[in-house]
Amino acid sequence: MDRIDQSILTALQYNARISNVDLAAHVGLSPSACLRRVTMLEQNGIINGYHADLNAAKMGHDVLVLLHITLHGQSAEMMAEFEAAVTNIPQVLACFLIAGENDYILRVAARDVNDFGRVHSTYLSSLPHVLRMESSFVLREVMNRGMTPSQI
């Protein structure tokens, strides 16, 4: 990956809807050469996709909870069953397998505290193989960014 690829990635992270012509002008390439590079970045899995950054609060989900989960064990079967079950809960925005005291961290969105209570009692409390759950309510998002090309 060279400086031009990094410039392309930076521009796309800032505005993924930029036209290929504008992107090419921004990085100093012809539109066809720029499109070839973007296609290669996609084919090599460096660009996983293009997404809209939705404002959860404006969509009525004012509560964000980070849930630390510890399983009874760490067998491949237990982890697979837990992971399969957690993917079926629409309020779970992300699930990370982690190293340390806990096994997983979930990012959960809810309309309000009562809605989180409903999600917890209806879905989260029935997840398989859970020994312990600890909820941390996010008070304010300070920063949330993706990987920058300079980190690559």
Task: Please report the pLDDT score of residue 55 as a whole number.
Answer: 87
Verify that 83 and 112 share a domain, yes or no: yes
The total of other beta-carbon atoms located within 10 Å of residue 129's CB is 18
Task: Please report the pLDDT score of residue 147 as a whole number.
Answer: 75
Instruction: Please choose, from the candidates 135, 51, 49, 129, the residue with its C-alpha nearest in 3D space to the C-alpha of residue 92.
Output: 135
Residue-wise pLDDT for 107-137, tens only, equals 999 999 999 999 999 999 999 999 999 999 9
Verify that 62 and 33 share a domain, yes or no: no
Instruction: Inform me whether the pLDDT recorded for 151 exceeds 90.
Output: no
Show Cβ contacts of residue 28 under 8 Å, excluding neighbours closer than 6 positions: 4
Residue-wise pLDDT for 80-95, tens only, equals 999 999 999 999 999 9
What is the Rg, in whole angstroms, of the alpha carbon atoms belonging to the chain? 20
Number of domains in the chain: 2
Verify that 66 and 122 share a domain, yes or no: yes
Check which CATH number belongs to the domain holding 33 and give it. 1.10.10.10
Check which CATH number belongs to the domain holding 118 and give it. 3.30.70.920
| 149 and 10 Cβ atoms separated by less than 8 Å | yes
- What confidence tier does 57 reach under pLDDT thresholds 50, 70, 90? confident
Verify that 17 and 64 share a domain, yes or no: no
- What confidence tier does 101 reach under pLDDT thresholds 50, 70, 90? very high
Separate counts of helices (H) and strands (E) for the chain: 5, 4
Verify that 66 and 14 share a domain, yes or no: no
Verify that 92 and 23 share a domain, yes or no: no
Range of the domain at 22: 3-43
| 8 and 34 Cβ atoms separated by less than 8 Å | yes
Verify that 63 and 131 share a domain, yes or no: yes
In a domain, 73, yes or no: yes
Residue-wise pLDDT for 7-54, tens only, equals 999 999 989 999 999 999 999 999 999 999 999 999 999 999 998 888
